Structure 1
Amino acid sequence: MIKNPNLTLAGADLAALLCSRVCHDVISPVGAINNGLELLDEGGADEDAMDLIRASALNASVRLKFARLAFGASGSVGASIDTGEAEKAVKDFAEAEKKTTVTWNGPRAIIAKNRVKLLMNLFLVAYGSIPRGGSLDVVLENPEYDAKFSIVAKGRMLRVPPKFAEICDGILEESIDAHTIQPYYTVLLADESGMELKYSIGEGEIVFTAQTAAVDAPDAEPSAE
């Protein structure tokens, strides 16, 4: 059984930090909507204000739908989720951000909720590895059984998000806060899903993978003399 020594947050602290993360993600587009409404109230350029409101409302909606799948319950405990929902949420997220292209390959399947959440959170980690934009290639292999998810990130100024690397490698030195809860949650989901996280840095790309961990065979019973 995988067990990362950094996974020490109590449930209440985890919930509070995830809520803070979601609020951080949506406060900017919601604030922009408010700015657009203020422009209208002041008799500003109506079309410019409406464009701002439309774009910001779409951004907020996309982020909330993504967060519902990536962080929320999304059904009862132990429920399964269609990977097609994750694909749509990921592509809508990237389209709204307008700086990254996404390809998605692999069979569509209904799989354990935590595996879908892991896939979406690994996408966020990969997205964070290309701060200037680029491309993300998502591949699902055998998602219903011995699953393997891989995301290839390509873009300028590539770098593995530092906190993800620290938590993943078991060498975290500072406490978790609202800015670092997402990579922490990614590693936690992998642990709870029985999947092993890895990343490799190549020429012009970073590959992030989550693969079902091999189960050690039990030691054979000694034969009776």
Structure 2
Amino acid sequence: MTAIDLDKLDLAALLCSRVCHDVISPVGAIVNGLEVLEDENDASMKAFALDLIAKSARQASARLQFARLAFGAAGSAGAQIDTGDAEQVARGFIQDDRTTLEWHVPRAYLPKNRVKLLLNLLMVAGATIPRGGTIAADAEGEGETARFIITTRGSHARIPNHMETLLSGGAPEGGSIDAHGVQPHYTGLLAREVGMGITLAMTGEGDGVVITAAPGEKAAEAAVAGEPGTV
């Protein structure tokens, strides 16, 4: 595997592109709704436009709030983040007509990079169920021995191509990372920063994926026990 070391400016640019990609769709829908309000006299069309604007504004706000915690500074160096706040932004970002979030992480103040890792693992988890389903977030242990376990279930669940490579800091085919690949790459950077390894494995039934982030030794033990893909 070829390791990749992104320049800081390139990493910042790709993360900004990723955030813009997530926000541009609801913002564009708001613009479309406003155009309908300006051009239409039909009451039903105006009602539809207002509903579209309201729904899209909530979606854009939820995505920006999530990005602020998942990618942003979220306070000064060494700051801690309330997992209750993480749950709130995660629900706004993930839950929709297709996907449900089950949150079982105890409420506590954790170092910001651990909380950012948890939120980014949820984004990785979403990529494993392209047609929607459930994402369950759990935490086990306390302090330096704690680990996160994200379990997904849904139709056509799979571990995306290059996901493990990107999480481990490697380069996908072609040797470069785009705005889609930068998020799992960033997740891997966070995991290594807090001294954790990430494992991915299909569930026994094959209808979901289990993602585990644990301190290095625990991650290795999990892989030996039958959870392949330690990165």
TM-score for both structures, normalised by structure 1: 0.88
Q: Secondary structure at the match of 1:6?
A: coil
Bigger radius of gyration: 1
| Aligned residue pair count | 211
State the Cα deviation string for residues 86-133 of structure 1 (Å, max 9, x = none). Answer: 1111112123x3211111113211111111111100100001111100
Q: CA deviation at 1:144?
A: 3.0
Q: Distance between the aligned counterparts of 2:142 and 2:70, measured in 1?
A: 17
Question: For 2:214, what is the secondary structure of its paired residue?
Answer: strand
Q: Secondary structure at the match of 1:156?
A: coil
CA offset digits 1:133-170 (Å, max 9, x no partner): 00011101125331110111100011112232222354
* SS of residue in 1 equivalent to 2:135: strand
SS at 1:9 equivalent: coil
| Counterpart contact for 2:167–2:186, Cα < 8 Å | no
Question: Is this contact kept in 1: 2:151–2:208, CA < 8 A?
Answer: yes
1:37-81 Cα shifts (integer Å, max 9, x gaps): 000000252100000000000000000000000011111122111
**Map of 2:115 onto structure 1:** 116
Alignment-derived partner of residue 217 in structure 2: 214
| Mapped partners of 1:183, 1:172: distance in 2 | 11
Work out the CA distance in 1 between the residues paired with 2:97 and 2:142: 28
Shift of 1:7: 4.7
Partner-residue secondary structure (3-state), 1:162: coil
Q: Is the 8 A contact 1:167 1:184 kept in 2?
A: yes
Flag structure 1 segments of 5+ consecutive residues without an equivalent: 216-225
Q: Distance in 2 between matches of 1:53 and 1:143?
A: 43
Deviation, 1:11, is 1.1
* Partner Cα separation in structure 2 for residue 19 and residue 141 of structure 1: 32
Which residue in the other structure is 2:21 paired with? 24
Query: Secondary structure of 1:214's partner?
Result: helix
The 2-side partners of 1:75 and 1:110 are apart by 13
In structure 1, the residue corresponding to 2:120 is in which secondary structure? helix
CA distance in 1, matches of 2:182, 2:28: 23
1:198-209 to 2 correspondences below 5 Å? 198-202=199-203, 203=205, 204-209=207-212
Q: Could you say what secondary structure the match of 1:145 adopts?
A: helix
Q: What is the match of residue 221 of structure 1? A: none
Residue 48 (structure 1) aligns with? 48
Answering whether residue 3 of structure 2 is matched by residue 6 of structure 1, we say yes
Residue of structure 2 equivalent to 1:80: 80
> For structure 1, which segment, 84-93 or 60-69, has the greater mean C-alpha deviation from structure 2 after superposition?
84-93
What does residue 69 of structure 2 align with? Answer: 69
1:160 counterpart SS class: coil
CA deviation after TM superposition for structure 1 residue 6, in Å:
2.9
Identity between Structure 1 and Structure 2 (%): 50
Contiguous gaps of at least 5 residues in structure 2? 219-231
Q: Which whole-Å CA distance do the structure 1 matches of 2:106 and 2:31 have between them?
A: 41
Once residues 4 and 196 of structure 2 are traced to their aligned partners in structure 1, the CA distance between those partners, rounded to angstroms, is 15
CA contact (8 A) 2:129 2:158 kept: yes
